[in-house]
Amino acid sequence: MRLATVRTADGTRAARLEGDRLLLLRAPDVGVLLVSTSPASRLDTVMALESTGEIAFTDASFAPLVPHPEKIFCVGLNYRAHILEMSRELPDYPTLFAKFASGLIGAHDDLVLPLVSKAVDWEVELGVVIGRRIRRATLEQAHDAIAGFTVVNDISMRDWQARTTQYLQGKAFDASTPVGPVLVTGDEIGDAVDLEVRCELDGIVMQRGRTSDLLFGPTAVVSYISQFATLCPGDLISTGTPGGVGAGRDPQVFLEPGQVLTTAIEGIGSCVNRCVPEES
């Protein structure tokens, strides 16, 4: 099953992808849909929902997949190749930081480069969307709590990130994190255990890796986070990025106005975002 949140003249709507058509559902977004349906019967329930209209996938304006998650967790330094690229040792535990709902943008929205940063970087990441409430979950329970997977670009303001030993200020800028375009359930993509993740800048591949290189996979991360925080339907977890970020290059490369950033994950889809300057 593939779900999206799209913008319409009457506000956002959850939609189910069938072929090349998005069937509009009565829920205002995917997050609300997850909260309002039982995990045990969600697939049958959503498939049985009556469509109130449809939009061609190519014509859709995608909102952030889950516009208002209660919690957003991100994992830093989680691909072995990226850890080595950044001259770090393999960690014993996931490195976590948070984002906020105000930081999310749609899969095809413009990415505004803030005036206060001169080092805006890309990070293609596999996103995990929680589908049921869990606390101190086992690995099996964590697996069952994953509603599906999506594409995230953890855009990072490296100059702000480097100001202190804490990541937050370089990671939580408003309107800086593309998410979408769809949620894909694990049965369609083998639980995302070995998918290609790729980031292109103006058609040039900057990052290419596979989710099999993750040090802490989605299930392990979900279980770990649930030991200290209750995870709820619609919560979003971004699982880390492979090698090839701009800050890891010699010389370093950062985003410029007019460039087009494409973030893609095999079997899920892609975010395509044009970089535009912030107006003074």
DSSP-based helix, strand, coil % in the chain, nearest 5? 25, 35, 40
Asked whether residue 73 is domain-assigned, the answer is: yes
Say if 44 falls within a structural domain.
no
Nearest to 66 by CA among 210, 182, 213: 182
Q: Is residue 38 part of a domain?
A: no
Number of H helices, E strands in the chain: 7, 18
The rounded mean pLDDT for the chain is 96
> Does 263 reside within a domain?
yes
Q: How many CA atoms lie within 13 A of 9 on its CB side?
A: 3
Residue 199 pLDDT grade (very low, low, confident, very high; cuts 50, 70, 90):
very high
DSSP reduced 3-state for 11: strand
Q: Quick one: pLDDT at residue 249?
A: 93
What per-residue confidence (pLDDT) applies to 275?
98
pLDDT digit string (tens) for 12-71?
A: 999 999 999 999 999 999 999 999 999 989 999 999 998 999 999 999 999 999 999 999
**CATH number of the structural domain spanning residue 125:** 3.90.850.10
The better pLDDT of the pair 85, 10 is held by 10
Strand partners, 196: 210
CA angle 62–68–73, rounded 5-degree value: 105
Number of domains in the chain: 1
**What does the pLDDT look like over 133-181, one tens digit per residue?**
999 999 999 999 999 999 999 999 999 999 999 989 999 999 999 999 9
**Structural domain includes residue 192:** yes
The whole-number pLDDT of residue 214 equals: 97
Domain for residue 140, yes or no? Answer: yes
pLDDT of res. 17: 98
Whole-model pTM: value is 0.96
Structural domain of 76: 64-277
Assess whether pLDDT exceeds 90 at residue 280: no
**Per-residue pLDDT for 94 more than 90?**
yes
| Lateral strand order in the sheet of 260-265 | 111-113, 269-277, 260-265, 196-201, 204-210
Going from the C-alpha of 261 to that of each of 125, 131, 196, 241, 273, the distances in angstroms are 13, 29, 17, 15, 5
59 domain-assigned: no
Q: Is 185 among the domain residues?
A: yes
CA–CA separation, 215 and 243 (whole Å): 13
Tell me how far apart the alpha carbons of residues 159 and 189 are, in angstroms, rounded to a whole number: 36
